[in-house]
Amino acid sequence: MRIAILSRNPNLYSTKRLKEAGESRGHTVDIIDTMHCYMDVTSSRPSVRYKGRALPRYDAVIPRIGASVTFYGTSVVRQFEMMGTFSINESVAISRSRDKLRSLQLLSRKGIGMPRTGFANHPDRIDDLIKNVGGAPVVIKLLEGTQGIGVVLAETQKAAESIIEAFMGLNASILVQEFIKEAGGSDIRCLVVGGKVIAAMKRQAAEGEFRSNLHRGGTAKIVRLSPAERKTAVDAAKTMGLNMCGVDLLRSNHGPVVMEVNSSPGLEGIENATNKDIAGMIIEFIETNAKPHKTKTKGTG
């Protein structure tokens, strides 16, 4: 097969591993810089141009779209879908998952467990917003945050109020979330491919820290999931319409709760923690599923 990895950086671990895994299974794998693709969107024969020429027809694309380039990146994926190329994750599903509020609303509608969460831009009654998710301690998150930056634990009602006021002064939309203390500074990353959890790791925050992000000094190791955790991860992926994703769970007193679903999960931490050939399993999924025009929405959504 002919596979394209849409990635800004050929030197990233995940990009390199996917290329290596594809080639070792006998495929031709090109790495295409999403942001350098351009196209004539009005053409009756859709194509994607790159470095002065039309790209060949690929059987499948693997989008690795960074959060900061979601808008342009998903439009490139959509163009491939219009050409009939199979995308492991559809453009609409990627856009959907990038909107944290929309994601939480969708998951909630499907009855998937999540921490009690409120969101706001300019509430008149901050005290009520906090009480409404169960009161302090609460976790306050900037909507645009990543790698643990912009995630704050407010231990008291007063602290929560002043943090929210500060964020409001910056005109930032925020999430206010029940603090899952019993998770003990750990979360669980489940990698779901084709409706199955193919690997899972537990990330533990550094001493004195509640955020388990590896970028914040967290450490990862392999973990065994309970059937409820497995089901929650699979249901979350299905709700978001993602064939491949990372589902982050917290172990709460009221069962597994979903924090986030990531459509371009990194492979380094989880391959190292589990010793599994995850890149190989992703290519295997593509081998079985990539048929022309199989993208459900065909780029029209």
Ligand X SMILES: Nc1ncnc2c1ncn2[C@@H]1O[C@H](COP(=O)(O)OP(=O)(O)OP(=O)(O)O)[C@@H](O)[C@H]1O
Q: Please give the residue ranges that form the binding site for ligand X (CB under 6 A).
A: 115, 139, 141, 145-149, 151, 177-180, 183, 187, 205, 210-213, 248, 250, 259-260
Choose between 239 and 295: whose C-beta lies nearer to ligand X.
239
Please name the residues in contact with 24: beta carbons below 8 A apart, sequence gap of 6 or more: 280
Length of the chain: 301
Residue from 124, 208, 132 nearest 177 by CA: 132
HSE toward the beta carbon, residue 236, CA cutoff 13 A: 33
Asked if 236 and 113 count as a contact pair (C-beta separation under 8 A), the reply is: no
State whether residue 15 is helix, strand or coil.
Answer: helix
Q: Closest approach of Cβ 250 to ligand X, in Å?
A: 6
> Edge-to-edge, what's the strand order for the sheet holding 196-204?
219-222, 196-204, 186-193, 244-252, 255-262
| Three-class secondary structure of residue 38 per DSSP | strand
Query: In this complex, which beta carbon is closest to ligand X, that of residue 19 or of residue 203?
Result: 203
Closest distance of CB 56 from ligand X, Å: 34
How far CA 34 is from CA of 63, 177, 293, in Å, comes to: 9, 34, 21
Backbone angles phi and psi of 216, in degrees to 5: -105, 20
CA–CA separation, 219 and 213 (whole Å):
8
- Nearest distance, CB of residue 49 and ligand X, angstroms: 32
Closer residue to ligand X (CB): 4 or 273: 273
Task: Give the nearest distance from C-beta 142 to ligand X in angstroms.
Answer: 8
The least distance separating ligand X from the CB of residue 300, rounded to whole angstroms, comes to 28
Instruction: Write the CB contacts of 225 (distance below 8 Å, at least 6 apart in sequence).
Output: 188, 190, 197, 200, 233
Minimum CB–partner distance for residue 116 and ligand X (Å):
9
When the beta carbons of 157 and 213 are compared against ligand X, the nearer one is 213
Q: Which is nearer to ligand X, 47 or 213 (CB)?
A: 213
- Cβ atoms of 282 and 88 within 8 Å: the answer is yes
Min dist CB 217 to ligand X, Å, is 12
Q: Looking at beta carbons only, is 32 or 152 nearer to ligand X?
A: 152
Which CB sits closer to ligand X, 266 or 280? Answer: 266
